[in-house]
Structure formats: C-alpha cells, structure tokens
Amino acid sequence: TVLLTMPGVPFIYYGEEIGMTGGKPDEKIRTPMQWANDATGGFTTGEPWESLNADVKKVNVAAQEADSTSLLSHYRQLIGLRNEHAALRTGAFVPVDSSCPSTFAYMRHLPASGAETQDSETVLVIVNFASKGEQTGCTFSYNGDAIPAGVYRPTDLLTGELVTDLTVDANGFHGYAPSPSLAPRAGYVLLLDRSSG
C-alpha cells in the first residue's frame, strides 16, 4: 500500500505481487514465477532452472486471481487507483502526524492547475503496521495550509466506504480520527472530497 501510494516510480519485483518468498544464497531470492499449482508452477513445460518454492500449492497466480481479498487483487486495485488518481502519481507528499506509533500517515496533494484540472485532488493515506490487534484511538494531525480549508467527506478508495468527515481550517487539521479503530496490517486510502462541505 505504501509502495503504490508514495511519490516516485514504484518497482515491483516479480512474485512480490503474490507473496512469493525467497531465500539464500542469492540465487534462491527468486525462483521461477508461480503461475499455477502444478509440477512446474505453470512456468514452463520443460524443466525449470531452479526448483519451485515449497508454498507453490498455495502461493500462485491462479489461486489468487479469483480471490478478491488476495494479495494479487490488492496490488491490482492499488495500481488501478494510482492510474485513476493523479494525486497518487504526481501529487506532493505531505507528512501527517499520528498519535499511534504503529501508524504512518501522509497526504498526496495535487493543487488545481487551471484548465487542465478543474479541482485539486487530495488523498490521505493511513497505514497501520501493527501485526496484531486493532489500534484504537489513533488520531492524525497536519499543521499547514497545503489543502484548502473546508469540510471534507473522505471515501476509502479501497473499500468504497465513507469515513468520518474531516474539518480543515487555515492551519490544517488536528486530532482527526477517521475510524474508532484501525485493523492490524491494514491500509486506508482516503479521497478527500470537499464538494459537500
């Protein structure tokens, strides 16, 4: 989630999008791509140059393609969001403070640019890196004037769900809680819509 919502050109090393693991020595960092659950992982009809990972039965493209909750689906969704939202491609990186040490937050802001873009676009990204247990009571603050003052109606681009409204003043926002709790190892990509504010 962080890789595909941060500035710069994202680099996805093959197999990362399905959760392939590697090992040592370096030649084992990446074994043949695991396309399917068969003897050669769908990689070839011949003999692969390296043996497949032991998890090929579960970790393969065919197993993840039909699962909307799979890692592969998550990567595809994030790539689609990056292509659809200019703020995620070229917007400025704006750090956001968090009250919870396991969470990381930032905005990607693209100001209006005349005839080419009618309105500015801002996306607030929140990632909970805690591996266990929900984080409760986390709040987020930003001191600055990068985004216009107003009431924003955030929509989570990953789920389509609305979250708590965000009020921004001339000095930013303080103590914003998009949700009472944040799931472990989860990301939230919130499009800030001011049209109703």
Residue range 4-56, pLDDT digits in tens: 999 999 999 899 999 998 777 887 788 899 999 998 999 988 888 888 888 89
Q: Is the pLDDT of residue 117 over 50?
A: no
Residue range 126-175, pLDDT digits in tens: 999 998 888 899 999 999 999 999 999 999 999 999 999 999 999 999 99
The C-alpha atoms of residue 148 and residue 188 are separated, in whole angstroms, by 21
Query: Quick one: DSSP state of residue 131?
Result: S
Q: Would you say 43 and 97 are in contact if contact means Cβ atoms under 8 Å apart?
A: no
Q: Is the pLDDT of residue 2 over 60?
A: yes
The C-alpha atoms of residue 190 and residue 126 are separated, in whole angstroms, by 8
Q: What are phi and psi of 78, to 5 degrees?
A: -65, -40
More confident residue, 89 or 197: 89
135 Rama sector, left if φ>0, alpha if ψ -120 to 50, beta otherwise: beta
Q: Is the pLDDT of residue 114 over 70?
A: no
Q: Would you say 191 and 123 are in contact if contact means Cβ atoms under 8 Å apart?
A: yes
Give helix then strand counts, H and E, for the chain. 3, 10
More confident residue, 50 or 122: 122
Identity at 175, one-letter amino acid code: G
Long-range contacts of 75-81 (CB under 8 A, 24+ apart): 75/4, 75/12, 75/17, 76/17, 77/158, 78/1, 78/4, 78/5, 78/189, 79/4, 81/4, 81/5, 81/157, 81/158, 81/189
Farthest CA pair distance, the chain: 64
> Is pTM beyond 0.85 here?
yes
